[in-house]
């Protein structure tokens, strides 16, 4: 069994020396436990936060110990009722090849109904993040003009498409390459998109949304957030999902300089955590599974092969190497 340990807390961009791929014995399941061979690992931006010691919503990774993350795998042995060898499960013991866990931490998934990796992405945590953040936190309603950043990523690509499917009057996305921008418009049906590296976000947003925006779904923070506040319409809503542009900062980033606009617009900015919205899961599944099955809701995955490449895959997410959900296939 190979597993990734955190050796030291990264300052700024994580460096390979902060991590080690360690060889250990394949663990043996005790009473009520299952042994799982992981087939797909999730690498996600929030993991950068867990590498730091700062108190946050998820506990810091412990130094010298295996890291955690979403994963799906096949049950090799089970000492628990309700789960048998051969079942496929979604769980939280990623960053390793084999995992032992109490059966209550393993959720059975059907690999026939959908590819296993989708339970980490479009049908899993990132899909629910898009759904809950847009519909609940941003109080999306038909006719809204919606702007989403990180729009070619796992969460952002679903936000834009769900908004379209639910009757947005205009959806605008931003992403970090011209290929991603093309994908947003040509394949995902965004009305407009721009490459934030090609010029000031505020100018590009104003050109793409001349009548302003009603909803901003923020995956990025920084310049994007200030631009969105600047384009916000009356009673506009901003859902703060993530701020990936600041995750490797060593100093606090400056805030938007134009927050006074929230007074005249009666605007609202609200952060959210997907973990608070699992009550929406049944509704999410009943609405999104048919959309994915019919092709109305499209998704991409960037798949990296091999446990030894997990760290690079994670760093790739921070760099923008991925289009859609970044997955490590073992």
Contacts 24+ apart (CB under 8 A), 91-95: 91/36, 92/68, 93/36, 93/38, 93/68, 94/38, 94/41, 94/42, 94/67, 94/68, 94/69, 94/70, 95/3, 95/4, 95/41, 95/66, 95/67, 95/68, 95/69, 95/71, 95/310
- Euclidean distance between CA atoms 205 and 195, whole angstroms: 10
User: Residue 82 Cβ, how far from ligand NDP at the closest point, in Å?
Assistant: 28
User: Residue 277 Cβ, how far from ligand NDP at the closest point, in Å?
Assistant: 8
Helix, strand, coil content of the chain in percent (nearest 5): 35, 25, 40
Closer residue to ligand NDP (CB): 161 or 322: 322
Closer residue to ligand NDP (CB): 170 or 224: 224
Hey, what are 84's tokens?
């048998």
User: Residue 193 Cβ, how far from ligand NDP at the closest point, in Å?
Assistant: 10
State whether residue 28 is helix, strand or coil.
Answer: coil
Closer residue to ligand NDP (CB): 73 or 221: 221
Q: Which residues bind ligand NDP (CB under 6 A)?
A: 44-46, 126, 129, 150, 152-156, 175-177, 180, 196, 219-220, 241-242, 244-245, 272-274, 317-318, 320, 322
Closer residue to ligand NDP (CB): 100 or 285: 285
User: Residue 133 Cβ, how far from ligand NDP at the closest point, in Å?
Assistant: 7
Closer residue to ligand NDP (CB): 168 or 193: 193
The DSSP H or E segment spanning 175 is strand 170-175
Nearest to 12 by CA among 319, 223, 247, 255: 247
- Euclidean distance between CA atoms 93 and 321, whole angstroms: 24
Closer residue to ligand NDP (CB): 110 or 321: 321
User: Residue 53 Cβ, how far from ligand NDP at the closest point, in Å?
Assistant: 18
Beta bridge partners of 41: 71, 328
- Euclidean distance between CA atoms 203 and 105, whole angstroms: 47
Closer residue to ligand NDP (CB): 27 or 189: 189
User: Residue 274 Cβ, how far from ligand NDP at the closest point, in Å?
Assistant: 4
- Euclidean distance between CA atoms 108 and 105, whole angstroms: 10
User: Residue 195 Cβ, how far from ligand NDP at the closest point, in Å?
Assistant: 8
Closer residue to ligand NDP (CB): 164 or 224: 224
The DSSP H or E segment spanning 305 is strand 301-305
Beta bridge partners of 72: 40, 90
User: Residue 285 Cβ, how far from ligand NDP at the closest point, in Å?
Assistant: 17
């Amino acid at each position: 069994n190979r597993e990734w340990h955190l050796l030291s807390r990264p300052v700024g961009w994580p460096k390979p020396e902060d991590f080690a791929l360690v060889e250990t014995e394949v663990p043996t399941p005790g009473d009520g436990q299952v042994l799982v061979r992981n087939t797909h690992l999730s690498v996600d931006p929030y993991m950068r936060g867990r590498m730091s010691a700062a108190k946050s919503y998820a506990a810091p990774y412990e130094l010298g110990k295996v890291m955690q993350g979403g994963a799906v795998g096949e049950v090799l042995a089970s000492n628990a009722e309700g789960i048998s060898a051969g079942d496929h499960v979604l769980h939280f013991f990623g960053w390793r090849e084999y995992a032992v866990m109490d059966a209550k931490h393993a959720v059975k998934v059907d690999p026939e109904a959908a590819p296993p990796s989708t339970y980490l992405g479009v049908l899993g945590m990132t899909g629910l993040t898009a759904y809950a953040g847009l519909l609940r936190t941003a109080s999306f309603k038909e006719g809204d003009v919606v702007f989403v950043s990180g729009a070619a990523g796992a969460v952002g690509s679903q936000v834009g498409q769900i908004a379209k499917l639910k009757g947005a009057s205009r959806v605008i996305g931003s992403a970090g390459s011209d290929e991603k921008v093309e994908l947003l418009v040509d394949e995902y049906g965004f009305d407009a998109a721009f490459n934030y590296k090609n010029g000031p976000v505020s100018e590009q947003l104003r050109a793409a949304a001349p009548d302003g925006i009603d909803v901003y779904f923020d995956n990025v923070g920084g310049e994007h957030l200030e631009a969105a506040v600047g384009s916000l319409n009356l009673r506009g809503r901003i859902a703060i999902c993530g701020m990936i542009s600041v995750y490797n900062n060593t100093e606090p980033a400056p805030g938007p300089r134009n927050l006074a606009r929230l007074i005249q617009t009666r605007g609202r900015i609200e952060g959210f955590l997907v973990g608070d919205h699992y009550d929406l899961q049944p509704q999410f599944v009943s609405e999104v599974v048919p959309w994915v099955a019919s092709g109305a809701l499209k998704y991409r995955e960037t798949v990296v092969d091999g446990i030894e490449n997990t760290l690079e895959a994670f760093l790739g997410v921070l760099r923008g190497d991925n289009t859609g959900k970044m997955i490590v296939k073992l």
